[in-house]
Amino acid sequence: MAVRRIVYCGHPALRKKARRVREIDEGLAQLLDDLAETMLVESGLGLAAAQVADPLAAVVVRRDPDGEEMIELINPRIVEREGEQEGHEGCLSLPTLRGTVLRPERVVVEAVDREGDEIIIEGEGLMARCLAHELDHLAGRLFIDVVEPESLCWMRPDSDKECGYRLEDTTIEDAIEAFERLRKQRESEA
């Protein structure tokens, strides 16, 4: 396994529709392993292949927010959605940015696992939110595309605060500009 570099908002890979996996091979198994390792190192709840600039329709999601057991989904699609929930979201491709997003309360996802077997995953609450968020990545959508604009804020470190951070309001346009600067800086350092 290897930790891959997560690409930031502004990278073209995040806006492309994922390619369906046609063949499950050693390369795909390595990608799934790397996604899981990267997500754990970065303390995420889910990670899509697009976030490491890979065009395949593959995601990993933690089975439990505090655990290390993964659900691997190849060519996933939501086949059922029910209810609504409003909650805060962030994204490893938009670090420290948070906002309120409306998602389904419950989803059912059909996919294939690394053995090629069809699987069905049902998620409610946080799991439904996470699945919907990651599957949005496969369609080239980011949470800032569906965020309630007035809720968008940065989480800034602040040792004076009990929680260790303070919130600073921002706009979608300012956030996109900030990530574009960060992305260009990272590319020039590579």
Q: Which residues pair with 98 in a beta bridge?
A: 153
Catalytic (active site) residue 134: yes
CA angle 172–62–67, rounded 5-degree value: 120
What does the DSSP 8-state code read for residue 92?
A: T
Of 68, 69, 84, 134, which residue is the catalytic one?
Answer: 134
In 3D space, the residue among 119, 138, 128, 120 whose CA is nearest the CA of residue 49 turns out to be 138
Backbone φ/ψ region at 116: left (φ over 0), alpha (ψ -120 to 50), beta = left
In 3D space, the residue among 6, 127, 122 whose CA is nearest the CA of residue 66 turns out to be 127
In 3D space, the residue among 51, 123, 127, 122 whose CA is nearest the CA of residue 87 turns out to be 127
Residues marked active site are found at: 134
